[in-house]
Amino acid sequence: MRVHVADHPLITHKLTVLRDKTTPSATFRNLTEELVTLLAYEATRGVRTNTVEIETPVAVTTGLAISDPKPLVVPILRAGLGMLDGMVKLLPSAEVGFLGMVRDETTLEPSVYAERLPDDLSNRQCFVLDPMLATGGSLLAAIEYLFDRGAVDVTAICLLAAPEGVAAIERAIDGRNVSIVLGALDERLNEHGYIVPGLGDAGDRLYGTV
């Protein structure tokens, strides 16, 4: 599994404002979108392309076009939805599917409660959007779900991660083609499952429920 932590002052600056508890929801949403666009630049480094021939006004030349089937972008509901616009801004030809994950209160096992994806994911390259990689449970279940449906290559884009969550995914992924692109790798998880220092509950902060 490849893990890439973005190392850029603009990303750290935007994350710093995002982390600040006094940042209002409207600013939080705009910054999330901007951050995802910056992270998407790194995350799409391995996007599949093929060589095409085109004619400029001056000469015939070759370039690259994003291959078919187009990449599939999958925001995990609810907080991943706040990352979608920033992603498709950079990858407008991508198809978009949706996955809703919920955790059983007693077993703590995550499962899929809503799904709107193409039936056949054979040979698809997928980009999963989930802002907070905490324990890794729901992201891992989402990745497994996509592989079970035929996907062959999954890149997750997260704003923040805890080392515990990254390690949990790494242990479970077992040689399959998974990459994780992070805005920052934080210190740890606290006893309530929040990332420290983190930014609190990403869904609440995006949608103004705090």
Residues with a catalytic annotation lie at: 103, 107, 201, 204
CB of 157 to ligand URA, least distance (A): 15
Per the listing, tokens 């062959």 go with 152
Site track for ligand URA across 98-137, x = CB under 6 A: ----------------------------------x-x---
Site track for ligand URA across 53-92, x = CB under 6 A: --------------------------x-------------
Per the listing, tokens 């940042």 go with 23
Helix or strand or coil: residue 33? Answer: helix
Q: Does 198 bind ligand URA (CB under 6 A)?
A: yes
Q: What is the DSSP string of 109-170?
A: -EEEEEEE--S--TT-EEEEE-SEESSSHHHHHHHHHHHHTT--EEEEEEEEE-HHHHHHHH
Number of C-alpha atoms within 13 angstroms, CB side, residue 168? Answer: 17
Q: Positive or negative CA dihedral for 79, 178, 123, 144?
A: negative
| Residue ranges at the known binding site | 78, 103, 130-138, 195, 200-202
Q: Which residues bind ligand URA (CB under 6 A)?
A: 79, 132, 134, 193-195, 198, 201-203
| Residue ranges at the known binding site for 5-phospho-alpha-D-ribose 1-diphosphate | 78, 103, 130-138, 201
